[in-house]
Amino acid sequence: MKLDQLYQEIILDHYKRPHGRGLREPFDAEAHHVNPTCGDEVTLRVSIKGDTVADVSYEGMGCSISQASASILHELLKGGTVEESLRRHEAFAELMGGRGQVEPDEAVLEDAVAFAGVARYPARVKCALLPWMAYKDALARAVPEEEKA
Amino acid sequence: MKLDQLYQEIILDHYKRPHGRGLREPFDAEAHHVNPTCGDEVTLRVSIKGDTVADVSYEGMGCSISQASASILHELLKGGTVEESLRRHEAFAELMGGRGQVEPDEAVLEDAVAFAGVARYPARVKCALLPWMAYKDALARAVPEEEKA
Amino acid sequence: MNALDVDAVRKDFPILDREVNGNPLVYLDSGNTSQKPRQVIDAVREHYELHNANVARSVHTLGTEATEAFEGAREKVAAFVGAGTAAEIVFTKNSTEAINLVAHAFTAGAQDPRLRLGPGDEIVITEMEHHSNIVPWQLLAQRTGATLRWFGLTDEGRLDLSRLEDLINERTKLVSVVHYSNLLGTINPVDVLVARARQVGALVLLDGSQSVPHIPVDVTALGADFVAFTGHKMLGPTGIGALWGRFELLDAMPPFLGGGSMIETVAMTGSTFMPPPARFEAGTPPIAEAVGLGAAVDYLSAVGMDAIQAHEKQLTAYALDALAATPDVRVIGPTDTADRGATISFTVDGIHPHDVGQILDDEGVQVRVGHHCARPTCVRFGVPATTRASFYLYTTISEIDALVRGLERVRKVFA
Amino acid sequence: MNALDVDAVRKDFPILDREVNGNPLVYLDSGNTSQKPRQVIDAVREHYELHNANVARSVHTLGTEATEAFEGAREKVAAFVGAGTAAEIVFTKNSTEAINLVAHAFTAGAQDPRLRLGPGDEIVITEMEHHSNIVPWQLLAQRTGATLRWFGLTDEGRLDLSRLEDLINERTKLVSVVHYSNLLGTINPVDVLVARARQVGALVLLDGSQSVPHIPVDVTALGADFVAFTGHKMLGPTGIGALWGRFELLDAMPPFLGGGSMIETVAMTGSTFMPPPARFEAGTPPIAEAVGLGAAVDYLSAVGMDAIQAHEKQLTAYALDALAATPDVRVIGPTDTADRGATISFTVDGIHPHDVGQILDDEGVQVRVGHHCARPTCVRFGVPATTRASFYLYTTISEIDALVRGLERVRKVFA
Ligand SMILES: Cc1ncc(COP(=O)(O)O)c(C=O)c1O
Ligand SMILES: Cc1ncc(COP(=O)(O)O)c(C=O)c1O
């Protein structure tokens, strides 16, 4: 069943019991993203300590896909290095843009491989990407270009 | 042949040898009309003496139909009463709007019955009407409403 | 009035034979765009296969045929909405353009005092407008310094008319209100608004995008100055809409888009313009689309707008009852059939509309989810989005049953 | 490059089987609007029969299919004109709207200095423009107090470039020029104009309404900032056109029409807008029309734009020779095939174009007569109107013979 691939157990679990939800202090930057077609919103904060993503906190309204995606993002990126987070970001974006043709790398994406089914639903891809776009935006503000070089 | 009904001998004659062409003095009012789709233009003057249309003079650029129509208008209206000219105007407009279904009254329209065939060509009806519309306009300016009453 | 034979109607809509995700298509998104009967699809095809040419510019036979078809469609549309003359129908690309066209007629330097707008002047809308009847006025207010004001809504989803006299006052230049809300289903009391606007000398625009397709509309009887509507929601093609306006008022308006076919004469140093409707139809118009829209209003008239309204009322009553019986469903908008159309927005407790829509889609049931281009209405009712089912002449009771069954499945997935 | 097989092409155009006044249709009015191949007509029909839904708003299957078809069409059109990305293609209702959209981006208070326009600033056009590339600039000049200037023409129907440096100068904000004149057939030297505009920092808009359908156009290589074109002249449906613009520049432009789908978020107190192209596509777009236009560019690409250009060059050479051999015919515009397209305007001594067109129509030959929405060009050449024959990929040599035979009959009737 196609629908079961979309609403995988992992996704529904994260949706019902989101991890790391809530906006926390301290943080280095915040980004607010909206999906204009459906009105889903997420506010996301990052706290960077040296090379490490010390915290990702978020708050938002949206469907199961966008909410679960934020929860999994938190799990996946918090505590890792900034570089690692960008690698995971890229892998996730690639998976979502792959229209179901991209084989996800479980070593990089862990629980997020559950989103492979979402890639088959073009209308939902934006939901899954919403927190990730906000993350990238917040990170760019927290770590200015000069510093990265 | 449909085309022969459009380009009747009378129409072609009036086109090649127009009657009363040229702008003359004295005149009471002038009207300039343009057909925006094709650029045909006519400038038409009326001179009214009492109840009589003393002169209709005109100048214009346009196709055989609009030019012949101006020439026949001159023939038909000049020298008659204002009231008669309006009756002829009405009969001509009715003929042109009739899509070929109106039987023209030769007693009223004389040579202008030759335009019966034009009514079948919606794109050309405006050409035939151009000088008649200018006439009505000029007349309205020459004979203000109050006076008519 | 003849009753509507929904089985016969459905045979005219080829798409209704389709399956979606292995289930028969249950199209409950007509408020978004309607499906098209064979008669409309064929009219467009035939036009291209036999009569295609540009209009108003040619003496040749094809051009004459195309022009007659195009102007004939204008006459049909005019008759359909009760316009005084066909010259009162301006073809646009959609409702949105029709509304923007009116908005651009208002300027600080307008010759006609009714269209002169500046600081201190007010435009009044409502909190239940589609974005297409909000943003043009926000942009106009920015351009001119005029103030935008709006009616609030009652909890039932009706206009809050308690501040009528305050909101529509001597400073009001224009009242622009949706006739039939695309989110709430509410049908607004046009008579009350028009009467008050007349008292203060304000113009009235009705957004008829949802009313013209679904209920008999007589623009003359309504008493407004402008009515905007859109072809694709009334069985017609995409790419065409219309603005009806009182001729005298249209004639007082300056041109909007400039270009071919709207001019009287052009010189490099300046141009003069045609009377309406040509003045507002710059460039090649949607010709085949007008022909299709003409076929659409023929179809609607043949079925009968009264019959369509009665059919939709029956569906709405049935659906409202069915949804009332489901405890976790909350209808946003009027919950009885008085002054409401066949568009029902609702939320399902604890489940986001996106997820509701997704699972319904799996069952073949096509509903719209989101803010329905009426975000302020969502904000007013404290919801980020809703699920919306909207019906039309081809909708059946059993399709509403499919919706209700689908909602059970939604609950199961998210249990 | 494969040569064009005109017999095979003609089989794809159902209308070409038609008779007009008892004669086979000879359609020589493609510059006005083109005929449509079966492939385009079918794509539109199939869309309505199988995939019709609104776009960008639904999670349901039909909505997803319609959105993919619509955005897929944008990608096809982008590739067809060599745009960097599909986001550089804004769908409009026709060329005219595309040009007006750009005109409305210029205001006194614009944030971007390139779009700031007021007294002292200049906009430059030419004497060979279509009304759609004249009137929007006249209206803009009126709104802002800017000055409209224009290139004159040589007797041969070319731009008079002798005043290039004077006309395009430090005060020039925009140069808006037709790429391929719809009256004269002249193809203008874009490189010269762009180079000069770049020197003085002016933007360049090309009216590609006639070029995009008939010659290979690569917007990136042309170096302009905007190119406007229209679907119905390139085998596509009516009701759709496009504006190509450099993304960075589109992104600097304020919205034009306000409404659904162009917003990011709407509150009663103010709204924010989407990036291009959505920012400029308010309301329901011409969805089925985009699908049809996508099929049209597929068709053109399959035949090959090089092959079409070569075919038309051959027809033009033949027609220019044939007309040169008729002593009472005067061609208005270039009389050789260098830098000219397959559109030939002419006058017949002593016979008004209306009469020429009427008699040709009786023979089945469909030509356009009048000022072709380019009245200033007529004035420049001292004629009230012309007769115009314009060719396309389906035109044959024997159709040009029919035109010449028709002209003999014209002479006979008016002998
Ligand atoms: C050169 C030129 N520009 C602009 C236009 C206007 O195109 P449309 O009528 O599709 O807006 C045309 C065609 O009519 C044209 O030939
Ligand atoms: C109430 C209302 N107004 C305006 C519109 C805009 O119509 P269109 O998108 O056809 O311009 C719609 C539909 O989307 C609507 O429902």
User: pLDDT tens across C234-262, in order?
Assistant: 999 999 999 999 999 999 999 999 999 99
Q: Helix, strand or coil for residue A6?
A: helix
The percent of residues in chain B predicted with pLDDT above 70, rounded, is: 95
Closest ligand to residue D371's CA: 1
Which residues 176-235 of C have a C-beta within 8 angstroms of D? 230, 232
C-beta separation of C191 from C184 below 8 A = no
Residue B5 has pLDDT above 90, yes or no: no
**The two structure tokens encoding residue C282:** 């710059």
Residue type, C263: I
Q: What is the pLDDT of residue C222?
A: 97
Nearest alpha carbon to residue C408 among C329, C340, C303, C336: C329
Q: Is D373 a catalytic residue?
A: yes
Give the number of the atom of ligand 1 that is nearest the alpha carbon of residue C284.
Answer: 9
Q: What is the Cα gyration radius of chain C?
A: 22
Q: What is the pLDDT of residue C67?
A: 95
Kindly state if the Cβ of D29 falls inside 6 Å of ligand 1: no
Q: What is the pLDDT of residue D412?
A: 93
Q: What is the pLDDT of residue C1?
A: 60
**The two structure tokens encoding residue C201:** 């000398």
Q: Where are the alpha helices (DSSP H) in C84-163?
A: 95-103, 135-144
Distance D56 CA to ligand 1 centre (A): 29
User: pLDDT tens across C170-180, in order?
Assistant: 999 999 999 99
Domains of chain C from N-terminus onward: 6-30+304-413 (3.90.1150.10), 43-301 (3.40.640.10)
**The two structure tokens encoding residue D87:** 């986001």
Q: What is the pLDDT of residue B148?
A: 52
* Residues counted in chain D: 415
Query: What is the rounded CA–CA span in Å between residue D153 and residue D134?
Result: 15
Which residues 53-82 of C have a C-beta within 8 angstroms of D? 53-54, 57-63
What residue of A is the nearest CA neighbor of C369? Answer: A38
Residue A85 has pLDDT above 50, yes or no: yes
Nearest alpha carbon to residue B32 among B88, B84, B70, B76: B70
Query: What is the rounded CA–CA span in Å between residue C119 and residue C142?
Result: 10
Closest ligand to residue D373's CA: 1
User: pLDDT tens across C367-378, in order?
Assistant: 999 999 999 999
**The two structure tokens encoding residue D48:** 């309505």
- Secondary structure (H, E, C), C172-193: EEEEEEECECCCCCEECCHHHH
A122 with D68: Cβ contact below 8 A = yes
Residues of chain C contacting A17 with CB distance shorter than 8 Å: none
Residue A144 has pLDDT above 90, yes or no: no
**D373, D378, D389, D407: which is the annotated catalytic residue?**
D373
Q: What is the pLDDT of residue D379?
A: 94
CB pairs under 8 A between A and C: 48
* Residue minimizing CA distance to atom 15 of ligand 1: D209
C-beta separation of C91 from C277 below 8 A = yes
* Cα separation values, D62 from B92, C292, C346, C375, D69, Å: 56, 21, 21, 23, 10
**The two structure tokens encoding residue A1:** 């069943």
Residue B63 has its nearest CB partner, among D21, D352, D375, at D352
pLDDT tens-place values along chain D, 415 residues long:
678 999 999 999 999 999 999 999 999 999 999 999 999 999 999 999 999 999 976 789 999 999 999 999 999 999 999 999 999 999 999 999 999 999 999 999 999 999 999 999 999 999 999 999 999 999 999 999 999 999 999 999 999 999 999 999 999 999 999 999 999 999 999 999 999 999 999 999 999 999 999 999 999 999 999 999 999 999 999 999 999 999 999 999 999 999 999 998 899 999 999 999 999 999 999 999 999 999 999 999 999 999 999 999 999 999 999 999 998 999 999 999 999 999 999 999 999 999 999 999 999 999 999 999 999 999 999 998 999 999 999 999 999 999 999 999 999 999 8
Which value does ipTM take for this structure?
Answer: 0.94
* Cα separation values, D291 from C46, D17, D75, D288, Å: 18, 25, 11, 5
pTM given for the model: 0.95
Residue C45 has its nearest CB partner, among D33, D45, D127, at D45
CB pairs under 8 A between B and C: 21
